[in-house]
Structure 1
Amino acid sequence: MIRCEQLQWGAKAQPLTPPLDLHLPAGSLTAVIGSNGCGKSSLLKVIAGLQRPLRGRVRLGATCLGGVAYLVQQQALDRQFPIDLHRLVSAGFWRSPLSRRDRQTRLQQVLDDWRLLDLQRQPLQALSGGELQRALLARLSLTEARILLLDEPDAALDEQGQALLWQHIQRWQAEGRTQLLVSHDLAGLSQRLDDALLVAPSGCVFAPIQQLLAQRVQPLSRAA
């Protein structure tokens, strides 16, 4: 569950939108859409606790450490950092109670799921954009987080990678995880999920994505 109450975010004393009231129930799948620079990624960071809001608060249905997982954009990574794909993905085991043997079994399974088994010893700088994105998604797959915040999860993915991504998103939804994802692929989103939050300087609208794409809605903050 994600609940935003009179939430404002952005640069100090310069909120990007009017106050937002939003309630996303457990197990929901919601897209965050809007123009570049409108505050989509910043909203995810505020919900993840990585940025402080200017006003209001966020309440989450996952209160324990590790209950929220945030997928960063690739540009946030240092591709020159001297680790390989195996170690990058293994970071998803943070706070995992699994034994060393069970971790290894689970890791190999996830690497296979994301078609990364043959790349696990490759350094980050040797990976293509699509390979790195699948590695970041594989790292996310190792978490037990009940809330998943996905910032452009489809970035750099080819057709096969896109198919793998949506297989996992559907699996996570079936497991009852709450997902909030930022994407610019509006056509693809409209075919795969129902609801979206439109973020705009004049306000936010939560509505069926087909409605948001088909109509010129007047952005007004409203509760879900």
Structure 2
Amino acid sequence: MIRLQSLRWGAARQPLTPPLDLELLAGSLTAVIGANGCGKSSLLKVIAGLQKPLAGSVRVKVPVKGGLSFLPQQQQLDRQFPISLQDLVATGFWGCGQSPEVRRQRLAAVLEDWNLNGLEQRPLMALSGGELQRALLARLSLAEAPVLLLDEPHAALDELGQSLLWNHLHAWHAAGRTLVVVCHDLAAVRQHIPDTLLIKSSGCVFGSSSELIHPQPHVQVAC
């Protein structure tokens, strides 16, 4: 469960929206949409604890095991860092107490799931944008976090990559994980994600994706 109470975020003394009160239930799947610069990525960082809010509070209630996983945008990564694709994906095991053999089997399965076979030893700088994005998503597949925050997970993905993404998101959702997804593809949001938070400088709006993306009356959420 994620609860935001009177939350304001943005640059110092420059909140991006009026105070936001919102509760996302455990096991929910929610998109975050809005114009460029409205604060979508910043909101995910505040929820993840990577950025302090200007006011209000954030409460993320998760089981002791697993915690929260955050998928950043690619441009926040150092592509010159000397690590292979396989080693990057394997960082998803952090905090897991599984045996080396179980990890080896799970890693092989995840690389196959995300169509990354044959790229295991390739350095980050030699990956295409789509290959790197699938590697980052594969890392999430290894994590046991019950809460997943994904910042533009569809970025750089081709048609196959997008199909893999949505199949995995639905599987994670069906498994009871709580997902919050920043996405610019409104058609995909309407098709795949039941609820949406629309961020606007005049106030945030929460509701079903079909209502918010089509020109129908909106319901204000304490903004």
- TM-score, with normalisation over the residues of structure 2? 0.96
Q: How does 1:143-222 map to 2 (within 5 A)?
A: 143-215=143-215, 220-222=220-222
The aligned counterpart of 1:102 is: 102
> Secondary structure at 1:50's aligned position in 2?
coil
In structure 2, how many angstroms separate the alpha carbons of the residues matched to 1:56 and 1:66?
25
The aligned counterpart of 1:81 is: 81
Q: 5+ residue gaps in structure 2?
A: none
In structure 1, how many angstroms separate the alpha carbons of the residues matched to 2:195 and 2:40?
15
In structure 1, how many angstroms separate the alpha carbons of the residues matched to 2:9 and 2:191?
30
In structure 2, how many angstroms separate the alpha carbons of the residues matched to 1:133 and 1:169?
14
In structure 1, how many angstroms separate the alpha carbons of the residues matched to 2:6 and 2:182?
21
* 2:38–2:201 Cα contact (<8 Å) kept: yes
In structure 2, how many angstroms separate the alpha carbons of the residues matched to 1:222 and 1:146?
27
The aligned counterpart of 1:38 is: 38
Give the letter aligned to residue 120 of structure 1.
E
Shift of 1:220: 3.9
* 2:84–2:121 Cα contact (<8 Å) kept: yes
In structure 2, how many angstroms separate the alpha carbons of the residues matched to 1:116 and 1:213?
34
Q: Once structures 1 and 2 are overlaid, which stretch shifts more, 65-74 or 199-208?
A: 65-74
1:105-126 deviation per Cα after TM superposition (whole angstroms, max 9, x unaligned): 1111111100112101000011
* 2:30–2:197 Cα contact (<8 Å) kept: yes
In structure 1, how many angstroms separate the alpha carbons of the residues matched to 2:49 and 2:135?
23
> Secondary structure at 2:30's aligned position in 1?
strand
Q: 1:41 to 1:110 in 2, by over 3 A?
A: same
* 1:27–1:177 Cα contact (<8 Å) kept: yes
> Secondary structure at 1:196's aligned position in 2?
strand
1:151-175 deviation per Cα after TM superposition (whole angstroms, max 9, x unaligned): 0000010111011001110110111
Q: 5+ residue gaps in structure 1?
A: none
The aligned counterpart of 2:20 is: 20
In structure 2, how many angstroms separate the alpha carbons of the residues matched to 1:22 and 1:130?
33
In structure 2, how many angstroms separate the alpha carbons of the residues matched to 1:74 and 1:133?
7
Shift of 1:189: 1.0
The aligned counterpart of 1:135 is: 135
In structure 2, how many angstroms separate the alpha carbons of the residues matched to 1:217 and 1:50?
34
Q: How does 1:41-56 map to 2 (within 5 A)?
A: 41-56=41-56
In structure 2, how many angstroms separate the alpha carbons of the residues matched to 1:70 and 1:64?
17
Q: Once structures 1 and 2 are overlaid, which stretch shifts more, 54-63 or 78-87?
A: 54-63
1:138-160 deviation per Cα after TM superposition (whole angstroms, max 9, x unaligned): 01111000100000000010111
1:58 paired with 2:58, answer: yes
* 1:34–1:40 Cα contact (<8 Å) kept: yes
Shift of 1:63: 5.5
